[in-house]
Amino acid sequence: MLHDRMGLEYLADLMFQRSIRHLIISPGSRNAPIIDAFCKRRNFDCKAIVDERSAAFFALGMAQQLQQPVAIACTSGTAVLNFAPAIAEAYYQRIPLLVLTADRPVEFIDQGDGQTIRQQNVFANYIRKSIQLPQTIKNYDDLWYANRLVSEALNACSYPVPGPVHINLPFSEPLYGVKIPETPAPKDFQISDTTASLSAKALETLEREWHGAECKLLIAGQMPPNKNLEDQLRRMADDLSVTILTEATSNLNGPEFIACIDRCLAAMPSDDNALKPDLLITFGGAVVSKRIKGWLRKVPVKHHWHIDPVDIDMDTYKHLTRCIPMAAEEFFSQFRPPVIHSNIFYSARWRSLLARTRQAHHDFIAESPYTDLKIFESIVKNIPAGYHVQLANSTPVRYAQLFEYPHAFRFDSNRGVSGIDGSISTAAGAAFASGKPTLMITGDLGFFYDSNALWNKHLPKNLKIIMINNGGGGIFRYIDGPDQTGELEEFFEASHDTSAVHIARAFGLNYFLAVDLASLRTQLSAFFRESEKTSLLEIKSPAIESAATLRAYFKNLAGK
C-alpha cells in the first residue's frame, strides 16, 4: 500500500542497513514523523539537544571521531538555519553529516504560514548534495524516485570525500498518530571502493621532477591520525633533501618532522635562501600557520604538487604546477623514489633552525611573566598521556603550534572555516563518541559564545574544559591593525569582566579557578584528577601583558 511517509521510511531503513545509527535531534513539532520513524519504531541511538546550533556541532564532533556519518534533525523554519555554521565547518573539514530538516507542505511556502521558509537547497554553497523527498507518493514511479534520491544522498555523504548532505522532508498534517502500513523493502545502491593509481608515465614525470629538485619541502595540513601515512612519510624523511613540516592538527608524530613552523620562520633570516624549496608538496586540510603561507607566496618555487582527491587545484601558495587527484596515503604508497645520498643537506638546515629556536623558546618562557604563553606552557606540561585535545580557534590553536608535546596526543580543531562558534559543542560530541579523556582548550569569547553546549544532558564526564580568560579577544591585541583603529576594546576585542563560575554552577560542572602561576599549578593537578563529572578550569590571564609578551617572544626568536 502506497503512502506519503514511504520516502521517510526508506531513508530510515537504508540508514539502518548502512549502520548509520546516531541521530541528534532538536525538539519541535514538524519533525514528529522523524522522531516516530527513527526514535520510536527503530533502534536508532537518538539523543535530544535543544539548541540546534549546538546539536549540529555535537554531531560534528561525534562524526569527527567515529569517521562515519552522524545524522541531525530539526523542525522547520529558522531552526534549520541554526544548523548552518556546523554544516559549513563539516563541508570544509570533510566530516560526514546527514542533515534532516522537517518542512511545511510545499504549497504553503511563502504563503504566510508559521515556521515556514524556503528550505530547499538552503545550504547550497556548502553541502555535498541537497535533495527534497517527494511530499506525496501517488504511484510506483514516485516511490522509485524517493528510493533513488535516498541512495544518492547517502552515497554523497561519503564519496568522493566525506561531507554534509541535506535531506529536506516536507510533511503534511496530521503529524501525530499516523499508522504506518508495512512498507516494501527499499533497494539500495552503493559505491564500490576504488583506489586511484599513478600511470607509468605519471610516475616517470614525477620521479624526474623529484630527482631534479635539490630541496624538497612537504607540508601536511589538518588530518585525523593515520599510522600508515605517518610511516610512509618517516621513510621519505630519510632523504636528506627532504623536509616535512607538520602542525599539531596534522596528527603526525616523530622526530623526522618539523612541528613548530612559526617558531622556525620567526627565526629565519629574511635573506636565507638555503631553506627555500625547489619542490613543494602539499596534502591534508587547512594549515594554521599564516607565516608559512606568507613566506612561500613570496619565494620562488619551481614545482608545487598538490595531492587531494577532490580539491586538486587548491593553489594556497601561488605556485601550483601539478594536481594529483589521490588521497595522500594512496599517493605515497605508490610514489616511493629511491633515496639518493648526496651532498644536499636541506633537512639538516631546517633541523638546525628547529634546535636553535627550541632553546630560545625554553629560555624565553623560563624568564617570561604570567601571561597566556606561560599559561599554555603549564597546560602542555600537565596534560596526561592518552588525552585527545580539542583546540578552539583564535589564540588557543595558534599557541598550540609553538610547543612540542611530551606525548602523542590526538589534536582536533574546527579549522574548516575557523570560526569560534561551536567549539565546546564539538568537543562534547567528540568526547561522547570516542569515550577517551578529552581536553578542550578555549579562550573566553569562544567559551561564552558556545555556552549552550553545556545545556546538554549527554555531556560526558570524560570532557575537561580549560578556558583562558583574558577579558576579550586577545588575538586582536597581537595581530597588526585592530590596535591602530582606536576601537580595539569595543569592536574587536569585545572586552568584558565576565566569569564562568555561575555558568559552571548552573550546568552542574565541577569548577576550578586559577589566577596566577602558583594557583594554576595546583589547580591543574586537581583538575586532571577529577573524574566524576565534566570539569571546567577558568584561568585568568592579563590581556595587555599577554599580547606584549607574545610580540617579544617572536622578536626574541628573530634575534631582535
| Backbone dihedral angles phi then psi of residue 282, each to the nearest 5 degrees | -125, 145
CA distance 14 to 132: 16
| Under 8 Å between Cβ of 401 and 261 | yes
- Using H for helix, E for strand and C for coil, what is the string for 133-178? CCCCCCCHHHHHHHHHHHHHHHHHCCCCCCCCEEEEEECCCCCCCC
Report pTM. Answer: 0.94
Local structure of 560: helix, strand or coil: coil
Cell numbers representing residue 124 in the block: 547550497
Share of the chain above pLDDT 70, in %: 95
Burial of 345 from C-beta contacts in 10 A (0-12 / 13-18 / 19+): middle
In the chain, domain spans? 6-170, 200-350, 368-557
Helix (H, G, I), strand (E, B) or coil at 97: strand
**Which of 23-27, 181-185, 338-342, 481-485: highest mean pLDDT?**
23-27
In DSSP terms, 101 is beta-bridged to 74, 168
Is residue 479 very low, low, confident or very high in pLDDT (cuts 50, 70, 90)?
low
- pLDDT category of residue 491 using cuts at 50, 70 and 90: very low
The values of phi and psi at residue 536, to 5°, are: -130, 125
Confidence class for position 472, pLDDT limits 50, 70, 90: low
Question: What CATH number is given for 6-170 in this structure?
Answer: 3.40.50.970
Which residues contact residue 80 at a Cβ distance below 8 angstroms, ignoring those fewer than 6 apart? 52, 74, 101, 117, 119, 122
**Could you give the CA distance from residue 33 to residue 181 in angstroms, rounded to a whole number?**
14
Residue 558: Cβ-neighbour burial (10 angstroms; 0-12, 13-18, 19+): middle
| DSSP assignment letter at 258 | B
Distances (CA, A) of 405 to 226, 252, 380, 479: 18, 12, 7, 25
Q: Provide mean pLDDT across the span 382-397.
A: 96
Among 3.40.50.10420, 3.30.720.120, 3.40.190.10, 3.40.50.1220, what is the CATH number of 200-350? 3.40.50.1220
Are the folds of 200-350 and 368-557 the same?
yes
pLDDT in tens, 258-284: 999 999 999 998 777 889 999 999 999
How far is it, in rounded angstroms, from Cα 26 to Cα 23? 10
Name the grid cell of 487: 576601537
The reported pLDDT for the residue numbered 293 is 97
Q: Looking at domain 368-557, does it have CATH number 3.30.1380.20?
A: no
